[in-house]
A and B are shown apart, each in its own frame.
Chain A
Amino acid sequence: SQTIHQWPATLVQPVGSPLSLECTVEGTSNPNLYWYRQAAGRGLQLLFYSVGIGQISSEVPQNLSASRPQDRQFILSSKKLLLSDSGFYLCAWDRDRTDTQYFGPGTRLTVL
């Protein structure tokens, strides 16, 4: 069966510091991978998606970037965090772009 991992689970970072969040999927190959952010207010916003190694699509302009160095690894990064980057970050995967997306446990980021 497939499993999706995210780490760290929680993170508290000062403004201006760098960020690296990691997501990995087990039990499948060539998945589509997604990063979402959920700010206070509960709405989920798609940030990035990737259909293959090195292929990244950005949905909204922002302070963040994503990379996919390996087939089942998706990384969310920032060079300098802003207060507005605080939120709950969820990684998800699916096999096809209209297939069911399955989510990881999330990373709660607080920028102070």
Chain B
Amino acid sequence: AQKVTQAQTEISVVEKEDVTLDCVYETRDTTYYLFWYKQPPSGELVFLIRRNSFDEQNEISGRYSWNFQKSTSSFNFTITASQVVDSAVYFCALTTRGSQGNLIFGKGTKLSVKP
């Protein structure tokens, strides 16, 4: 069975602090895809990144970076120099061929960035 665990329910930081959101996944499939989505107060889920299981390269996009480690089944997300606009709920998700493409979401981490 596939599972995504986001152990941090809520995180609160002060602007300009760095923050890391943890994501641990479980799957027996060798081919799988990992995602991060952002859900601001408006509610819409905004796609941030997709990684496949064959590509363990870390990725950086501006203040955002992602650390994918198959050895620990983790796909962590770091925001550098956080800003108030980063306040949102962040979801990690997993899909595999074995799950017929169904997207398995973690429960989300609510990030509050205070000025």
Contact = CB atoms under 8 A, between A and B. Distances in A.
A100 B47 contact: yes
Nearest to B33: A98
A96 interface: yes
A83 interface: no
A90 B44 CA distance: 8
B115 interface: no
Give the contact-size bracket for chain A: 20 to 34
B108 A43 contact: yes
A106 B37 CA distance: 15
A108 B103 contact: no
B47 A97 contact: no
Interface stretch (B12-20, B68-76, B92-100): B92-100
Interface string A77-112: 000000000001010100011101111111010000
Interface residues of B, number: 23
A105 B101 contact: no
A66 to B, nearest CB: 15
B45 A42 contact: no
B101 A100 contact: no
A46 interface: yes
A97 B107 contact: no
A105 B43 CA distance: 7
A112 to B, nearest CB: 20
Contact of B102 (A42, A46, A90, A100): A46
A34 B101 CA distance: 11
Nearest to B102: A46
B45 A90 contact: yes
Q: Which of A34, A98, A100, A106 has the most CB of B within 10 A?
A: A98
A102 B93 CA distance: 13
Contact of B96 (A42, A98, A102): A98
Contact of B44 (A32, A34, A96, A105): A105
